[in-house]
Every structure is written in structure tokens, then in C-alpha cells.
Amino acid sequence: MFAPALATISLFSGVGLCKLYENVADLPSLHYDFVVVGGGAGGNTVANRLTEDPKISVLVLEAGPSNAGVLDAQIPFLSNDFGNAAGPYSWNYTTTPQAGAAGHVFNYLQGHLLGGSSSHNGMAYTRGAAADFDRYAKLTGDDGWSWNKIFPYFLKASENHDTAGQFNPAVHGTKGAISVSISGYSWSDFEQRVIQTTKELPDDFPFNLDMNSGKPLGIGWLQYTIGNGERSSSATGYLKPKVIQRPNLDVLLHAQVSKLINFTRTGSPGPPGTPTFGGVEFRQGTSMFAARASKEIILSAGTIGTPRILLNSGVGDRNALQALGIQTMVDLPSVGKNASDHPYTGLTWTVNSNQTADSLYQNATVFNEALAQWNKSRTGPLVDSDPGTHAGWLRLSPDSPAFAVHADPSPGPDAPHFEILFQPSGLGAPGNSISLAMAMISPVSRGSVSLSSNDPFAPPLVDPGLFANEFDALALAEGTDLLFKFLSAPAWNHDGYLGAPVVDLTTMTPAERVDFVRSHAGPGYHIVGTAGMSPNGAQYGVVDPDLRVKGIAGLRVIDASVLPIVPAGHTQAATYVVAERGADLIKQTWE
């Protein structure tokens, strides 16, 4: 494909980025009230909210470069190509061989630039089910994580201005930091058929005006973190020039934190004798530096980066640390455990129509015209991610044989087991096609993030645990029936629109289908849980419900890794609300 090559042209240089520092030598200080490790979805949110108080100083240390001028991070349509390749904006992680997924080793994408994965992701904005948050409240013993208590943070984190009739304004904010919108370019033939199907097969596929109301079940218009034809990320939304220019906020790029340092047993704040870390060690270029935090260190390095730093610092399972020759500072066996992710598989059907996005992938002239249009007016087909126009959120049939293998892992009857993404393209397949991608979004499987060596810069072992539990494979295989059922509606067939599936699962035995799913699914990059919340005093878990690392003073984790179980939705919306509430919890501590 040619899109990736075009997509790395840079429009701006790093010059004139104000208080976004490229070089540690230019930083005015290495001593702040708070040091935030990682400028991703969680970290930038926290940095913004803490520096609303001009008396509080914050340093953000981000391993990657700036997002400014990176077209892959700016043009929504390019997110897919951006995602598929290792490059300077990606951590280049690979998974351990996934025994449940035919032994495959996957690239495990994570953003390595300001904005983190929010500068790198597919931009779908989905909150999950109310029951996901109510379950978090139950698992942590803190009602503050329940849907009703968290709801105001959704409004604070995002704003939605869009076409009436495609979402419900009552459940959205108008002044939040991140822009959210419905597809800005219309693939109307495809869109009408999706909506028509909800009328023809309403029992299986009811229309849902707004999947972000807490009750996602049904089919509706997909919302994206896109505004004015451009990606809205934590870098563009929470670190706007006005925020970056605050005298109490500094952001240092190209700064990779290796570990926490200056461990003491008599640290303050916290009860006397509670251990604390005074600062962090980081690398820029080939040199090592240290930064101090007098109030708190906030780890926001993401679900892979955060446990990596904790383990490098001797915070983790004593036996595992010992085996690597790392001295244990705090024995916290859950660090890096309980990872959960969403396995996705995609199916493609040829269609007798040229009203699909395929020519953008197949014909350089078409793509270049679209790029010129985007560049000139922020309009045209590149204003959408991927593009997927709708999503569906559905449940496994109550009499599914999968329930004989494991009890229902979903948090309640209003929460889905599956997501379907409806895409008017074959994503590079020849001819004109449409694709339906499906994910198993309430997985039983758990994986882990662990260290491969005591070198803090060595790649970690990333095991998203895909289909580690058979339930997930059985459920997803059964769920693919729904894709064929959806496309059996007259809407797709009355005029010969729908052609053949590239792979016809309907002719397979159930066992063959399970094999197909295991060998054709990949990770969703929605990994959470490696620094999971648990109740105060619990014998497992990594952070308390107020996001403080158990048994350590002055250290919190504020990113996706604290979610104990992956929600039934793409994970950025949940990460933003964790960070919004996390910032409030810090403010309450220091008020």
C-alpha cells in the first residue's frame, strides 16, 4: 500500500514548541511537585487538570517525539496504516506466542509519541456499558467508580457537536477537552443498508440512537474522537497551546523513564514508615538523568509501560524479580498480572457497487486527490477513521454451549459480549468490498506483562492472553453467525448488492469455525488490568481505589492499567474518565 509512505511527511519542525522541550538541557528544573511519567491519554489529562492550580508544578516525561505535524496522527483515515507498521511512533512491541491463537506472534501496537495511543489509535469513542463501571465499583469497594458517579467525567472529558438524529445530545458534554463526532464523510449507500437492516431485523439488530448512554446494546452510528476533520487526542485536546504555555507545566519529549529511584522507608507523605520513591531515572539520547517529585510521582505509561517501570523498580512479585536479579523493594505479586484485551477478527464480502472506500487503498490517484482535499479543506473521505460507519453491540445467545465452559463473564444483561464494526471497504482486498469486524469484548482470558531481563530498556514480555480460555474462542466463533445473519437482510440482497464472502464460515462445522477464529483473530490493543484496582487492604491488586500503589507513599498509577477488567468498549473513553477522576483524587489529597 502506498498510503503509509505518503503519511510520514512532516509539515512542521519541532521549533517554536514553547514549553514542549526536546532537550533536557533546556528544562528550567528537574524538581517539580508532580512528575507524570508518560504523555498519553491518562498522563496529559492529569497534567492538564493538576496545573489548573498555578501553585502546582508538573513535569511530564514522554518517551516519544511530538505529535505535531505527524500526518498519520492527524489525518483520521491514515490511522489504520499507522497502526499496522512498526515505526518511530510505535513501541514496536511483539507478543509472546499466543497459544490460544494458533501460536501467532503479533505486533502489539502502542503509541510512542505525545498523546500516546490516543495519537495512534482508531479513534472510536465508546464508553462501554454502565454495568462495566458498576462492576468496577463493586470490585474496588468504591462507589466513586460506578457509572452514575463517573458520568460527569465523561461530560468533562469530551464534547460532541454533530448532526441531530445520529446521537443523543443528552448524554454528551459540550465543553469537554476531546472532540467527538460521527463520521464526517457519508458512504450513504452502505450507511442506508446498515440502518435499513435494523428495521428489517429489529429483534436481533435493534437500532440504538446512542451506544454511549450506558446501554450500548443494538446497532448505531459510531462516534469518534475527531473534530474538524482531524484527530482529537490527549495531545491536541488536553495540551492545547494555552495549556502548554502555563508556567507551571513542562513537558519533556524523548525521555524514557527506566525506574523509580531514591527509595526510602521513612518517606512522607503517608503514614510514618511507609516507603516512598523520591524521583525517577530517565534516559534521553544515551545519557541518564533524574527528576524529583516532592509531592507525587504519577505513572501514566500505559498498560505495558507502567508495570514495566514498577518491575524495573523492584515493585512486583518477589520470586519473579529475584529470578531476574532485581532487588525487591515492595513485594506486590499482582503487578503485570490480570491483563485483558479484546480479540478481533474480520470478514470481507465483495459487493456489486463502487460506492466503497476501496479505491482509496487501491488507486494512488484517488488517494492523492482525497489527500489534497483534506489538506485544503479538512473534508472528503480522509476525515473518517478506517472508515467504520456504525458499530453493533450484541449478546451471546443465552443457550450457547459456551456457557457450559464458563459462566457468563459479562457484567450484566445490558452489557454486550460482542462488538461488530461495519466498514465500507475491504481494507486493501481487490475489487469493491465491505467488511464486518467482530470482537469478543467480555473475555474470560487473562494475560500478563513481565520483564525479559534486568535491563530496564530490554523489551518486555507482552502476553495479552488471546483465547487463553476456551470460552472466548467458542463465543467468538458462535458470534460470527450474527455477521451472516445481519447480511441476510433484504437490505443487502434485494438488488444484488451483496456478493460472496471471502471466507464462508456458514459451510464450516462449529469446530472448524473455532479453528478459523483462533487462527484469524488478533489483539484489539485495548489491554488493561496490569496495575489493577482492588479494595483497600486486599491481598491482590496493585492500586487502591484512589489509584495509590499499595504499600507505597507518593506514587499513583493513572492510566488504562488500573481498570481491573477490560470494559465492553474501546478503552480510551474509560481511560480519560479514570484520569479525570484520578486528578480530582490528587487534588483532594493536597487541598
Ligand X SMILES: *[C@@H]1O[C@H](CO)[C@@H](O)[C@H](O)[C@H]1NC(C)=O
Ligand Y SMILES: Cc1cc2nc3c(=O)[nH]c(=O)nc-3n(C[C@H](O)[C@H](O)[C@H](O)COP(=O)(O)OP(=O)(O)OC[C@H]3O[C@@H](n4cnc5c(N)ncnc54)[C@H](O)[C@@H]3O)c2cc1C
* Binding-site residues from annotation for FAD: 257
Q: Does 121 bind ligand Y (CB under 6 A)?
A: yes
Shortest distance (Å) from residue 487 CB to ligand X: 21
CA–CA dist 219, 233 (Å, integer): 26
Exactly one of 111, 314, 465, 501 binds ligand Y (CB under 6 A); that residue is 111
Contact range with ligand Y by CB under 6 A, out of 109-117, 207-215, 315-323, 483-491:
109-117
330 touches ligand Y (CB under 6 A) = no
Active site residues: 526, 570
As measured in angstroms, the least distance from the Cβ of 123 to ligand Y is 5
Residue 468 CA to residue 100 CA, distance in Å, equals 5
Residue 154 binds to ligand Y (criterion: CB under 6 A): no
Which residues make Cβ contacts (< 8 Å) with residue 359, sequence separation at least 6? 366, 367
Strands 20-21 and 31-37: unpaired
Which residues share a beta bridge with 21? 252
Among 21, 59, 62, 465, binds ligand Y (CB under 6 A): 62
Binding piece for ligand Y, criterion CB under 6 A, among 37-45, 191-199, 318-326, 547-555: 37-45
CB of 203 to ligand Y, least distance (A): 29
Among ligand X, ligand Y, none, what does residue 337 contact (CB within 5–8 Å per kind)?
ligand X
Q: Which does residue 560 bind out of ligand X, ligand Y, none, counting CB within 5 to 8 angstroms by kind?
A: ligand Y
Q: Is 257 in the site for ligand Y (CB under 6 A)?
A: yes
- SS in 3 state form for 313-378? CCEECHHHHHHCCCCCCEECCCCCCCEECCEEEEEEEEECCCCCCHHHHHCHHHHHHHHHHHHHHC
Closest distance of CB 410 from ligand X, Å: 14
300 interacts with, out of ligand Y, ligand X, none, CB within 5 to 8 A per kind: ligand Y
> Any contact of residue 572 with ligand Y (CB under 6 A)?
yes
Q: In angstroms, what is the C-alpha Rg of the chain? A: 23
Which residue from 170, 99, 112 is spatially nearest to 467, judged by alpha carbons? 99
Q: Which is nearer to ligand X, 91 or 125 (CB)?
A: 91
Q: What is the nearest approach in angstroms of ligand Y to the Cβ of residue 391?
A: 10
Select 38 or 464, whichever has its Cβ closest to ligand Y. Answer: 38
Question: What nine digits make up the cell of 149?
Answer: 458517579
Considering only CA atoms, which of 289, 278, 284, 433 is closest in space to residue 356?
Answer: 433
- 472 to 511: interface string for ligand Y, x by CB under 6 A: ----------------------------------------
124 interacts with ligand Y by CB under 6 A: yes
Q: Which residues of 324-361 are buried (b: 16+ CB within 10 A; e: fewer)?
A: bebeebbebebbbbbbbbbbbbbbbbbbebeebbbbbb
- From the list ligand Y, ligand X, none, pick the one residue 375 interacts with, judged by a Cβ distance below 5 to 8 Å according to partner type: ligand X
Which CB atom, from 283 or from 485, has the smaller least distance to ligand Y? 283
Nearest distance from C-beta of residue 341 to ligand Y, angstroms:
10
Sequence letter at residue 323:
A
Of 395, 526, 556, 581, the one binding ligand Y by CB under 6 A: 526
Choose among ligand X, ligand Y, none what residue 86 binds, the Cβ cut-off being 5 to 8 Å by kind: ligand X
Distance CA 273, CA 258 (A): 25
Type and span of the H or E element at 236: helix 234-237
* DSSP for residue 75: S
Name the percent of the chain in helix, strand, coil, to the closest 5.
Answer: 30, 25, 45
Footprint of ligand Y on this chain (CB under 6 A)?
Answer: 37-43, 61-64, 83, 109-112, 116-118, 120-124, 256-257, 300-303, 305, 309, 525-526, 559-560, 570-573, 575
